[in-house]
Amino acid sequence: MQPDKVFYEPAALDYELGKQLKEKFKNIEWVPIANHNNIEQLRKNPNKEFPRMKRHLIIGVRKSLKYVPNHKVSDFLVPYTSSGCSAMCLYCYLVCNYNKCSYLRLFVNREQMLEKLLKTANNSPKDLTFEIGSNSDLVLENTITGNLEWTVENFSKSKKGFLTFPTKFHMIEPLLSLNHRGRIIARISVNPEKVIRQIEFGTSPLKARVKALNQLCEAGYRVGMLIAPVVLAENWQQLYSELIEYLADELSLQAKEQLFIEIIFMTYSFVHRAINQEAFPQAPDLYDQTLMTGRGRGKYCYKPEVRAAGEHFLREELARKLKGIPIIYVV
């Protein structure tokens, strides 16, 4: 990502990473702000400005380090070195949370965040797993900050605990030679290529994602795969059947032997729809009244019977074509 403008909290420049970013992007405009959570001039922009705002970079200091218990692939969701993303997936839940202000925010106090991770891991009587990428894509962020490499190298010196992160990107080469000591679980998110092209703007193609998963596995990382989100668009059965067939053909034997799968069905909202209709008028409308129902506060999800049929189809296809790979949850 090459930003067109940087908004920054002046205190961020007191940190080493802040100084590095200032030097790296010295040739573009830097605009001081009081708070990375509330940039008034951006909040006032119309929805059609959403793609342009995704080219902005926001740099600040993360204040809240509160962990949230989790019971899927980790013990805790951890606020970490970034929030938001420069990609423009039409369903992204961060848009629902942050509206059109779901641009990439970088937090420079990484030493403080890592210190808490290490202390929590080492003080626990059992190995804990920490999800550090639930609010951003750390592989993408790493191309700007090097934070993921730095984190892997430093956390892996610990004798306890594991880190995990999901990604829709393929730029994992810097991770392959690191001494991760088996303490990192990388999870690649996949979708049919047609869904990626039409809905997951700015992310890596399917072929590159699968290659990245194989490379990470070969480098000794523990790996997982998300089929996420499942989008029940036109011809979805054919699309996801072809996806699973492709995975069966292209995943390495080594990856298949240790892989686990997460399945997440798409949710949507009034906020998403309002932004997408103005920012991406040529994109498909993801709201389908015949398939979806209200979920409270302007949110939509697939009707129970629709979702159940989708889950049944995917479980059957996976059992037939990727037999033996565990599905750890479906939501």
Find the range with the poorest average confidence among 8-12, 45-49, 214-218, 248-252.
45-49
- What does the pLDDT look like over 21-68, one tens digit per residue? 999 999 999 999 999 988 988 888 999 999 999 999 999 999 999 999
- CA distances, 288 to each of 192, 199, 300, 301, 331 (Å): 19, 15, 10, 10, 19
User: What pLDDT does residue 297 have?
Assistant: 81
CB within 8 A of 301, min separation 6: which ones? 265, 267, 268, 292, 293, 295, 307
- What does the pLDDT look like over 108-149, one tens digit per residue? 999 999 999 999 999 999 999 999 999 999 999 999 999 999
User: What pLDDT does residue 96 have?
Assistant: 67
CB within 8 A of 166, min separation 6: which ones? 133, 134, 137, 187, 188, 189, 226, 228
Average pLDDT taken over every residue of the chain? 96
103 with 56: CB under 8 angstroms? yes
- 270 Cα distance to chain centroid: 22
The token pair at 72 is: 């899927």
- What does the pLDDT look like over 291-318, one tens digit per residue? 999 988 889 999 999 999 999 999 999 9
Pairing of strands 68-69, 76-77: antiparallel
219 with 176: CB under 8 angstroms? yes
Strand partners, 5: 29, 56
CB within 8 A of 209, min separation 6: which ones? 168, 169, 170, 188, 189, 190
- Among residues 60, 52, 51, 53, the alpha carbon closest in space to that of 32 is found at 60
Q: How many domains does the chain have?
A: 1
Domain with 254, as residue range(s), is 5-330
Spatial distance between the Cα atoms of 164 and 40, rounded to a whole number of angstroms: 34
User: What pLDDT does residue 43 have?
Assistant: 87
* Predicted confidence (pLDDT) at residue 89 exceeds the cutoff of 70: yes
| Region 262-279 average pLDDT | 95
Find the range with the poorest average confidence among 92-96, 102-106, 215-219.
92-96
Question: What CATH code is carried by the domain that includes residue 46?
Answer: 3.80.30.30
Pairing of strands 184-190, 200-201: unpaired
CB within 8 A of 290, min separation 6: which ones? none
Share of the chain above pLDDT 90, in %: 92
User: What pLDDT does residue 78 have?
Assistant: 98
Q: Crossing angle for the helix pair 304-321 and 236-250, nearest 10 degrees?
A: 30
